[in-house]
Amino acid sequence: MSGSTRDAVLNRIRRANGARPGDPERAKVVAERLGTAPRGIVPKRGQLPQEERVRLFLDMAEKANATVARVADYAELPEAVATFLREKNLPAELKLGADPRFADLDFSQTALSVTHGASDGDDLAALSHAMGGIAETGTLMLTSGPDNPTSLNFLPEYHVVAVAAEDVAGDMETLLAKLRETFGKGGMPRSVNFVTGPSRSADIEQTLLLGAHGPRSLHIVVVG
């Protein structure tokens, strides 16, 4: 569309709406809308006490073909990851980022060989930490950065994700509000990924294929 055609279309829309370029009243309405980020209608399904919310999250995650586990605290996380890899008969090798919640993890009591950083595509298993979970859909919210490189979300075939029980929210709107509060304008992560279950597709003959565009297995460990 050329510039003159675009301007003509926009001018017709303005006339139909009774607007004019640079209208201060309309600019004020837009600024208020962007500044307040109003919440839409939120279903009641996830509006539960915390423990019930976590149980709903785990149930919905399993329905989406993820596997789940719970540990009391982060000290138990290394063994939980080792158990998952062992039960899958996988090599005892793990890649993880620089999330501060992983800094004090003691893998010495496991057989795991741990490396850090982004994935180069050759890692079979990775461990990430989610910013939160959504109970009504069993979805994880993962933000990008050196603490949890996005490559760990998509390149390894087996993805283990830890999420704190206190960070499991009832709905996406609650997590989006937390995202804005945590990072603020101008400081948002480069990407935010919402992950529900392992990668899958049924595009070819309606046959479900796991690992079509990412990990073939997602294992969620709720901490706390």
Domain-wise residue ranges, the chain: 3-36, 50-223
Alpha carbon distance 110, 113 (integer Å): 9
Is the per-residue pLDDT at 1 higher than 90? Answer: no
What is the band of 43 on the pLDDT scale with cuts at 50, 70, 90? confident
How large is the average pLDDT for residues 86-114? 95
Q: Which residue has the higher pLDDT, 115 or 201?
A: 115
pTM: 0.81
| pLDDT per position as a tens digit, 166-198 | 999 999 999 999 998 999 878 889 999 999 998
How large is the average pLDDT for residues 142-157? 94
CATH code given to domain 50-223 = 3.40.50.10420
Q: What value, to the nearest 5°, has the Cα angle with vertex 140 and ends 137 and 146?
A: 170
DSSP notation for 117-148: S---S--SEEEEE-SEEETTTTEEEEE-STTS
Q: Which residue has the higher pLDDT, 44 or 165?
A: 165
